[in-house]
Amino acid sequence: MKVAIVTGSSSGIGQEAASDLAAQGFHVVYACRSEERAKAAIAFAEKATPGAKTTFLQLDTGKMKSVKAFAASFLAKFDRLDVLVNNAGSGYFTSKDRVTEDGLEAFVGTNYLGPFLLTKLLMDIIKKSKGRVVNVSSIEHWEGSYDFEKVSVKTGPQSYATSKLMLMLMAFELCRREGIQATAVNPGGVFSGIWWYMRGWKKMLWSIIAPLILLTTKQGSATIVHAATAEGLPTKSCYLSPYSQKSWCPYYSDMIGFFNGAGVALACPKAYREDQWTKLWEFSEEKIKPFL
C-alpha cells in the first residue's frame, strides 16, 4: 500500500487532501500538533471512506526537535513513502511568538525550515520509494524576497511571503538536485481557519463576504491532491494553480477567480532563477546544521 504524509492535516485544505488521498487507497499519516484535532480529521476521512488506513504521528514544524522525533517515529513504522505533503504552516504569529524555541524567525522556521529539515530526514526513503514531494506555497510568493538572511532574522512585511517563495524554490531545486518529482502548489484563496486572527467587525464582515469570493477547503485541496497523484507532471519547475491563469495578467489571475481545477501555471518570474535555488539550498543547509 502506498504511504502519504500530510503535515497540518487536522483541518482545512490539509484535512481535505488527507481524506482524498485515503479515499484513493493511500495509508495516510496525519502529521499534526494536536492529537485530538487529528483524530477528528481522521474520523472525517473514515466517514467518507470506511476502512481508510490512517495513522497519527505528532509533528510541530516550528520545533526542530519535533521534526526529528517525527522522522524517527515514521522511519520506525514505515518502509516506504510515496508522497510527502509539506502543508503545515501559519499565516500569522502574535508578537510574542515571532521567534521559535530554536531562535528562528517564526515564518521562516515554521513554514519553511521545519519542512526542509523533514524532507532532508526522509530523503532516502522518498528516493527508495520513487516518491514525490508537494510543497504548499501561496500567491504570496510573488511578494517574497531573495534576501533570505535578512528575512530570517526578524519578522517583517515580507517574512510570510518569503517563506512561501522558499517552499517554491525548494521544490524546484529538489527536482534538479535530487531527481525527485517535487511540485509547488497554490491552493488559491480559501475560506478556512487561516483567518483565525481576525477580530471584531472585520471578522464579522469577512465571514459574510469570504464565502462568496473564496474557494472551499475541498477546492483548495485540489492542487495538493493533483500534485500527489497525477501522472505526466512537468519534471522541472512544476507549479499548479486552481485558477485559469491568463498570460496577460498572470499575477491577478493566479490570485483569485473561479475554481478551474488543478492545472500547470506560471509562478512569479523570480521563482525560476536557478542561482537562487542554489543559494536557498545552501542557506537552508547551514540553518538546519545545528539540528541534525
| pLDDT above 80 (res 173) | yes
Q: What is the pLDDT of residue 198?
A: 40
| 43, burial (CB in 10 Å: exposed 0-12, middle 13-18, buried 19+) | exposed
| 247, three cell numbers | 498570460
| Mean pLDDT for the stretch of residues 128-154 | 92
| Mean pLDDT for the stretch of residues 198-207 | 46
Chain mean pLDDT for the chain: 90
Q: What is the pLDDT of residue 192?
A: 57
pLDDT digits (tens, 9 = 90+) for 93-107: 777 778 889 989 999
**pLDDT cut 90: percent of the chain above it:** 72
Higher-scoring residue by pLDDT: 126, 156:
126
| Mean pLDDT for the stretch of residues 262-288 | 95
- Strand 181-185 relative to strand 54-58, pairing: unpaired
Please report the sign of the dihedral spanned by the C-alpha atoms of residue 267, residue 188, residue 95, residue 199. positive
**Catalytic hit among 112, 160, 239, 243:** 160
| 48, three cell numbers | 467518507
Longest dimension (CA), the chain: 52
Q: Which residue has the cell 537552508?
A: 284
| Mean pLDDT for the stretch of residues 72-87 | 98
| Mean pLDDT for the stretch of residues 229-238 | 94
Q: What is the pLDDT of residue 89?
A: 84
Q: What is the pLDDT of residue 199?
A: 46
| pLDDT above 90 (res 208) | no
Inter-CA distances, 211 with 38, 90, 131, 217, Å: 25, 21, 35, 11
Give yes or no: 272 in active site.
no
Q: Which residue has the cell 514531494?
A: 133
| 245, three cell numbers | 491563469
- Relative orientation angle of helices 35-48 and 12-23, to the nearest 10 degrees: 40
Q: What is the pLDDT of residue 203?
A: 47
Question: Which H/E stretch holds residue 86?
Answer: strand 83-86
Backbone φ/ψ region at 85: left (φ over 0), alpha (ψ -120 to 50), beta: beta
Rounded Cα distance, 189 and 210, in Å: 9
* Cβ atoms of 158 and 143 closer than 8 Å: yes
| Mean pLDDT for the stretch of residues 51-55 | 96
Higher-scoring residue by pLDDT: 195, 244:
244
Q: What is the pLDDT of residue 196?
A: 42
| Range 3-291 classified under CATH 3.30.70.270 | no
| Mean pLDDT for the stretch of residues 214-222 | 90
